[in-house]
Amino acid sequence: MMVLQVLGSCVPDAVGPVAMVTELGDPLDTVRLLQLSWEERLRLALGIAQILHHLAHSPLGSLAMNDFRRQQFVLVGGTLKLSDVDDVGVTEPECSSDEDCDMRHLVNNTMPTTDRLQCVRSRCAGYNERLNIWHAGRHFVRLFLPLSAPASLEPHVQELIQAYNQPDFWDTQRILSATHSLVSHFVSGSYMPAPPPVGLISL
């Protein structure tokens, strides 16, 4: 479950406010992110990759998080969850030609894209998925994942940073697979230097 769970609600008979009770989550802010251990931040990166993949392959089609900021998420027991889905877009932008699908104006021309999206059946195919990846990198992964990362995992971390920086070459499935691979390397301990042979240990 990647969306904050609703535990109960109260709808009055007359016109009035609706009360809703959800599971309790801790808000995300810059200070909180920097206080997390690297293992916790890696878990957070995995949660982001899972949410991105879910948005791209939802039963409603590819969804866009039009307000992809840290304030839209909370941590529930260390698991990242969406707490605000008011700004989710359920369709990709309309277009009449490929030129209408240029995304750089949305990110102040800071997206290093070289591959323009195609206009397919009057919709910019892949637009929502690519935009979500870019915003997730900007507001999350590029900010916290490299900090205090184990040196031997640095190549894997930089690969992920590059993925979020170049969403025209990476889709959410590839990012999710790369994140799982990074998690596996960390959990297995294979990134740690091998201890010296017993006979060579100096006392």
pLDDT for residue 201 is more than 70: no
Distance CA 151, CA 137 (A): 21
Q: What is the mean pLDDT of residues 167-182?
A: 93
Question: How many other β-carbons are positioned within 10 Å of the β-carbon of residue 150?
Answer: 14
Q: Does the predicted model carry a pTM greater than 0.75? A: yes
Residue-level pLDDT at 203: 45
Answer whether 42's CB lies under 8 Å from 52's CB.
no
Q: What is the mean pLDDT of residues 7-27?
A: 75
102 is catalytic: no
pLDDT for residue 202 is more than 70: no
Q: What is the mean pLDDT of residues 186-192?
A: 83
pLDDT in tens, 50-65: 999 999 999 989 999 8
Work out whether the CA dihedral 4, 68, 42, 177 comes out positive or negative.
positive
Question: How many other β-carbons are positioned within 10 Å of the β-carbon of residue 156?
Answer: 19
Q: Kindly state the tokens that stand for 39.
A: 């293992």
- Annotated catalytic residue, options 13, 26, 29, 67: 67
pLDDT for residue 24 is more than 50: yes
Confidence of residue 198 (pLDDT cuts 50, 70, 90): low
Confidence of residue 72 (pLDDT cuts 50, 70, 90): confident
Residue-level pLDDT at 110: 60
Residue-level pLDDT at 116: 72
Domain positions in the chain: 19-91+127-186
Q: Considering only the top CATH level, what class is 19-91+127-186?
A: mainly alpha
Residue-level pLDDT at 112: 59
